[in-house]
Amino acid sequence: MPRKCPPELQATPLAAPLMFSVNAAAGGSDDWVKAIGGVDYAYTLELPGGGNSGFDLPASQIFRTVSTFFPAIRVMGEYIRDNFA
């Protein structure tokens, strides 16, 4: 069950399910690290898609994406530090 998105990320609706999902996906590297590598916590942060090939974000959306993505990394790091360090 995804946890509530921190207030800092309320403007990015996909941040909560991507940051705090606790379910295995379709065999991503985070699933492998947790299952085979034996680590307790594995995370994957995914940028929004766009363009014709899915993840080739148009240049006009790069600044907006980076402006919301880097704060998400900061909040995630603080959460890990505060709860697991």
Which among 73, 84, 85 has a CA at the least distance from the CA of 6? 73
Is 8 a known active-site residue?
no
Per DSSP, the three-state class of 50 is: strand
Give exposure, 31-40, as e/b (b: 16+ Cβ within 10 Å). beebeeeeee
Q: What tokens were used for 81?
A: 């530090």
Q: What tokens were used for 29?
A: 């590297």
Q: Kindly name the residue from 28, 41, 44, 46 that is annotated as catalytic.
A: 46
State the catalytic residues.
46
